[in-house]
Amino acid sequence: METITQGSKVEKDSLPLKRIDHMELWVGNAKQAAYFYRNALGMDLVAYSGPETGVRERASYVLQRDKVRLVLSTPIRSEHPMADHIHRHGDGVHAIALEVDDARHSFKVTTERGAQPVQAPAEVEGVVTASIAMYGDTVLTFVERGDYAGPFLPGYEARDVKGPDFGIAAIDHIVGNVELGKMNHWVDFFARVMGFSQLIHFDDADISTEYSALMSKVMQDGTGKIKFPINEPADGRRKSQIEEYLEFYNGPGVQHIALLTGDIIKTVTAMRDAGMEFLKVPGAYYDEAQKRVGEVKEDFNAIRQLGILVDRDDEGYLLQIFTKPVEDRPTVFYEVIQRRGSRGFGKGNFKALFEAIEREQAKRGNL
Ligand code: FE2
């Protein structure tokens, strides 16, 4: 692993980002997906837009818990462009929305630096949105909220359907899978267009198993709060998990969304009870992990029983666990992560984790 603190050449604060505003997933059946997300991730349904609110062509459900906001949208008619996206990719992430103070400026600056425009700035009730293209069919949207006080965005009505609270608090990072040879293109996009800098680089030596390999680079914004790791497949003896994703997603896109919690044992216990399926590592992992990581505040038996992974670096440690894909296509999945000082990504877990992923791949006949 190489830790890189190289800053981007873009002047500081030329594109200040406030936070991840929301992520929008385009799904085959948003009504049912909203039920799953509400009950399996522990979120409230807070807003809705669809035929009943005067929107004729789609339905969207907004789920929220603390700083995590997910929008699930589906087309009502098959000629809608969303239907084509779902046909090609299955359920997946269409947009990552970042809150900014000035969406027109963000759009102008990024397109001047070479970003491909998707939606020019548009203002409704004082809220300005604009979008640029990211990897594959994924878009990056700038949202300027001004003084807007509605439940989500103009066109949405408030809903108050409570879900359980499992303690998810924020989106820690959003990982994208890109095609072989495209890593540096997207690293350059985040550096040159977005003004991000590269935090870490993992290569084959860190991430190869007997069968497959991948490369990963982590890009983060100036505040260090918004992190976009990018994976590229590397040559291995068998089909890598990244290649499996690219095949079934029909191209690059978001691979996983990491949800931050302050109490991973509580969060994962509740998600498991609610039916969320997690990857399992063999028991031998824990004999080694306890030695490798040393003293942790959490109950190690609970960590072992739940299948939570642990890793330590010079700043502290982290606990993490990965769900199985939440669609029938082996594509998008979620991570639950708790940080105890560490700002890393669980490098010490890569081998055990990727072997667990490969066991699932083999069951699907894709290894
Ligand atoms: Fe992750």
pLDDT per residue as tens digits for the range 204-215:
666 666 666 778
Q: Could you identify the residue written with the tokens 């406030």?
A: 18
Q: What is the pLDDT of residue 193?
A: 96
198 class by beta-carbon count within 10 Å (0-12 exposed, 13-18 middle, 19+ buried): buried
Two tokens, residue 187: 């690293």
Tell how far the Cα of 76 is from the centroid of ligand 1, in angstroms: 33
Tell me the pLDDT tens digit for each residue of 240-258: 889 999 999 999 999 999 9
Helices within 220-349 (DSSP H only): 241-249, 264-273, 284-293, 300-306
- The phi and psi torsions of 11 (rounded to 5 degrees) equal -60, 145
Q: Select from 266, 361, 284, 359 the least CA-distant residue to 321.
A: 266
pLDDT at 291: 86
Q: Are strands 2-3 and 19-26 parallel, antiparallel or unpaired?
A: unpaired
The pLDDT confidence band at residue 6, using thresholds 50, 70 and 90, is very low
Quick one: average pLDDT of 177-194?
A: 95
Q: Which pLDDT does position 209 carry in this prediction?
A: 67
Distance CA 28, CA 75 (A): 8
| Cα 247 to ligand 1 centroid, rounded to whole Å | 20
Domain ranges for the chain: 19-161, 168-364
- Give residue 175 CA to ligand 1 midpoint distance, Å: 6
Alpha-carbon distance of 15 to 142, in angstroms, equals: 11
- Quickly state the pLDDT bin for 8 (edges 50, 70, 90): very low
Dist. CA 263 → ligand 1 center (Å): 17
Contact 13, 92 (CB under 8 A): no
- Identify the CATH homologous superfamily for domain 168-364: 2,3-Dihydroxybiphenyl 1,2-Dioxygenase, domain 1 (3.10.180.10)
44 phi, psi to nearest 5 deg: -100, 145
Distance from C-alpha of 74 to C-alpha of 27, rounded to nearest angstrom: 5
Query: Is the CATH number 3.50.50.60 carried by domain 19-161?
Result: no
Crossing angle between the packed helical segments 241-249 and 350-363, to the nearest 10 degrees: 50
Q: State in Å: Cα 353 to ligand 1 middle.
A: 11
User: What's residue 280's pLDDT?
Assistant: 87
